[in-house]
Every structure is written in C-alpha cells, then in structure tokens.
Amino acid sequence: MATRSRKRQSRNAVPSVADEFATACLGDARLAKRLLQVSQSCSAAPDRSFPDIAGTVAELEGLYRFMSNDRVVPEEILEAHARETVTRAEDLGTLLVVHDTTEFAFPAGGARDGLGRLRSSKQGFLFHASLAVSCEAFRKPLGLLHAITWTRKARRTVSKARRDDGARESARWDAAVIATNERLAGRASAIHVMDREGDSFPLLAAMAGRRDRFIVRVAQADRIVVDNGERVRLCEAAAEAEEVLEITIELSKRRKGVTPYQRKTFPPRDRRSAVVRFAAKQLSIQRPRGRRVGDLPKEVAVNIVHVWEPSPPDGCEPVDWMLFTSESIRTKKEIRAVVERYRARWVIEEFFKVLKTGCAYEERQLASYHALRVALMIFVPIACRLIVLRAISRSEPDLPATVALSKTEIDVLRHFSKRVRLGKAPTVREALLAIAGFGGHLKNNGDPGWLTLSRGMEKLLMHTEGWEAALRAVGIAAGM
C-alpha cells in the first residue's frame, strides 16, 4: 500500500536552489543526490515544518538521516554555494560584502547535542556571515562568500569565559575579511561593510595594511585621533569638518532589542523621514594605550564621514553617526556613495530575519548542532531568493501579479481581500499588499514584515485549497 503524501504547498516557495549545490563534494554520490532532493523540497516550502516539506514518512526519515549524517560536512555545502556566489559577483566587478553576526536560539527544554548557552539563557549558537550584495540601487543579495558558526561555553568562571569568548569572536571579523578576499581571488573588488562591532583598531589596521576597501560604523567617538597634526578626540574633529551636503532619508521602524546591549545600542523608533547633513575629512586613528603593541602601527590613516540630524522632531532620537572608510571623499557624489553603501547593511539584517521567520529556522526540530548547521547551509540560498522575490514588488511594482501568482490565487485574493481591492489586472505590488492584508497588515503602515506575509500567505493557501475543492465538486456534479 502506498504511503499517503502529506506534502503541502507554500506561497513562500522560491525557484529551486538545488543548482547552488550541484558541485558539492560530499564524498558519496548518494549523499550528493540526497542534498539536491532535500534542497529542492525545502525551496518549495521553506516556511513549512520538515514533515510537511518531506510529504511521506520515508522521505522524512531520509531527510533527517541526511542532516544527522556525520559524513555530511556543512562547510562543503556552503563551499558549493559560495562558488556560485563568486560567479555572480564576477559579473558585477565591484560589490559590497556585508559582515554581521546573529544568534540562533532554541527553547531551553530538551537539550540538543552540541549547542551552547546564549545571553538569553536559551540554548543555541552564533552565526557570522559575509553576504555579497550588489552595489546597484536594488541591493540584490548574491549569496554568502563566507560563514562560520560557534557556541559559547558555560560560564563557570564568568570573567575568564567572557574574555575567551570576546577574543575569539572579535578575531572572526578579520578572519572573515581575509577568507572573503581569498574567495574572490581578484575576480571582483569587495567593499567590506560593518556595523559598530567592526570598530576595532587591530581590524582597521589590518584592513588598511592590506589596502582592503571598507566602510565601518564608528562605535568609539571619544577615541584619540590626529587631525592636522594635533591630537584631539574624534567627536571634536568630526564637529569641525565642513558640511558639504544635506538630504532627506527614510528611517525604518526599529523594535525594542532582546538583549541589554541591543536595547542600549539600538533603541526602538518609529518609521520616519529625517533631514540629515554630511561632512567628511581625512585623519589618523591613534593606537589605543595599554594595548599589546605587537605588529600594530602607531596610527592608521582613514577617511571619516559624519552624518547628523540638526533638527529632529520632538521626542525622537537624532541621527548622529560616523563612518570610517577607505573610499574616496573628494566630491559630494563620493561622500554620498559612502553613506548609501553603508546603508546596504539592511540587506543582511533582512537576511537574518528571513532565515528566522520566512524559513522558520529556529522552529526546526533537529536534535543536534551538526544537523542544525547542515539545515542552515541549505536554507542560506533560499533566504537570498526570498528577499529578491519580495523586492520585485518594490523595484518593479507595476509588473503583473501573474509573474508571482497563479490565476486561481489572484481570483481568490480578489474575492476575499477586504483591505485591498484588486482590479481585473492587479500588479505585483497590489497582490503583495492584499496577501499582507490577510496577515493583519494595514496598507498605510508601509511595507509588510516577513511574519505578516507568512501569515497572509498561509491564509491565501487555505482559501485557495477550499476554492479549488469547490470547483472540483461543481465539476463532478455537472458531470453527473
């Protein structure tokens, strides 16, 4: 007797990412074949549970065996994807490589083999990614060029454990830059983009010494710099820089952080417009006192770009940040390019969000750190394609909805959508807002988030299944 399939469709489906892993070297043709099968199934329903993705008991058992198999090396899966990423990067010539770290947290109950403890008291691990992004206005994610995962030790000796973790984790920033440069091997020019965690004198000195291109958000505005031969604080030097540009930018909404560090460093804010001014100058960063000298230079020459909001609305935190960069700042166009390229950091934030929400990664019922790492590497290219698909509605909103939805799904949206009315020929943008409306999104609240879209797509799927069942019933009755 055939096993009944449980496989369910998903409106979060993306084109199969199996081609990303075609060159994976797993040492066994059967494992390589299974990787292609698993990645194709996950692409079709990235937001579903593994039982729903697999469809049958036999397929589910095969999926779990593959992910738990010690011979399946997560780094080899990523290696194949990274090679495809380099090919895409080579076509561009210059690209942004955005580096950042996130935590993947899983419920503390029912310990999973190999996971460590996080600051939130949950079990999990950390993930540092180097995401290739196009320099064009669309900011298309090309894929990962490098990634590492690690766990933190239990804090038996708190001070020593924190020192060990801090030293280990800070070293990974430069290791990621080196690995990315080696991966590209001159086939494309990378501009390394980092948030405040990248503001480290050893890291900046290393990148400057190699003549890497970089844009790094300043974390220590009171550090000592040399400006026109005088030792002053960075904030004082920035305040004396000549204003060269004023523009209006859009600030995205930011929710309250989970950890104390996030709440202090990234306070919540509402979405709003801000009129900001730019200034730029060249100076040298002084080596911090008390640091082990080693091979560190006494100072590092960098360019800085200062961005501030002179008149913020009442009750709003003003925009005020600085960037260290290797990029030229001779013209207004070049200064603005530095800021715009730094703002491409939103892509990696979105990438992490899609992994956690659009791919439901933290809900995966896998019993070990190894299996979770295998699954993560499979979901990496899926998350990139999910971002691209949603971005279509932003960059080309007037394309017909038929490029993303079937005729039946559009009919269902037109019939059931109350918040967004669809005409005879709806656009991609209109269809996206209608789906988000199913998930509780209000049209005037800006672009919908991944959680809202996932909820809306789930409801669309349910309505569509009912719609098609009704049509079949009508057809059967008419045939009788």
**Most confident residue range from 213-222, 283-292, 392-401:** 213-222
Token pair belonging to 370: 């190894």
Token pair belonging to 246: 């004023």
Token pair belonging to 356: 């956690």
Measured CA to CA, the distance from residue 454 to residue 358 in angstroms comes to: 7
- Residue indicated by tokens 């269902």: 412
Is there a contact between 46 and 387 (Cβ–Cβ < 8 Å)?
no
Measured CA to CA, the distance from residue 302 to residue 212 in angstroms comes to: 12
Domain with CATH 1.10.740.10 in the chain: 396-472
Measured CA to CA, the distance from residue 222 to residue 95 in angstroms comes to: 31
Is there a contact between 346 and 252 (Cβ–Cβ < 8 Å)?
yes
Domain with CATH 3.90.350.10 in the chain: 74-365
Pair type for strands 189-194 and 94-106: parallel
Residue 120 has pLDDT above 50, yes or no: yes
DSSP state string for 405-450: S-HHHHHHHHHH-SSS---SS-BHHHHHHHHHHHTT--GGG-S--H
- In the chain, the percentage of residues whose pLDDT exceeds 70 is 81
DSSP state string for 119-144: TTS-EEEEEEEEEEEESSTT--EEEE
pLDDT-derived band at 279 (thresholds 50, 70, 90) equals very high
Measured CA to CA, the distance from residue 48 to residue 200 in angstroms comes to: 40
Choose the CATH number for 74-365 among 3.90.350.10, 3.40.1180.10, 3.40.30.10, 3.40.718.10: 3.90.350.10
pLDDT-derived band at 265 (thresholds 50, 70, 90) equals low
Q: Tell me: the pLDDT tens digits for 135-186?
A: 877 788 999 999 999 998 765 544 555 545 555 567 899 999 999 999 999 9
Is there a contact between 89 and 188 (Cβ–Cβ < 8 Å)?
yes
More confident residue, 394 or 128: 128
Residue 235 has pLDDT above 80, yes or no: yes
Beta bridge pairs of residue 248:
275
Architecture of domain 396-472: Orthogonal Bundle (1.10)
Token pair belonging to 454: 């996932």
Coil, helix or strand at residue 118: coil
Measured CA to CA, the distance from residue 411 to residue 426 in angstroms comes to: 10
Q: Tell me: the pLDDT tens digits for 220-231?
A: 899 999 998 899
Q: How many CB atoms neighbour CB 104 within 10 A? A: 22
Residue 1 has pLDDT above 50, yes or no: no
Measured CA to CA, the distance from residue 192 to residue 282 in angstroms comes to: 19
Q: Tell me: the pLDDT tens digits for 425-450?
A: 888 778 878 877 877 777 666 677 66
The average confidence (pLDDT) of the chain is: 83
Measured CA to CA, the distance from residue 444 to residue 194 in angstroms comes to: 32
CA distances from 274 to 38, 252, 292, 350 (A): 46, 11, 42, 22
Nearest residue to 272 (alpha-carbon basis) of 397, 393, 446: 446
Query: Is 0.95 surpassed by the pTM of this model?
Result: no
What pLDDT does residue 427 have? 82
Length of the chain counted residue by residue:
480
What pLDDT does residue 5 have? 46
What pLDDT does residue 210 have? 95
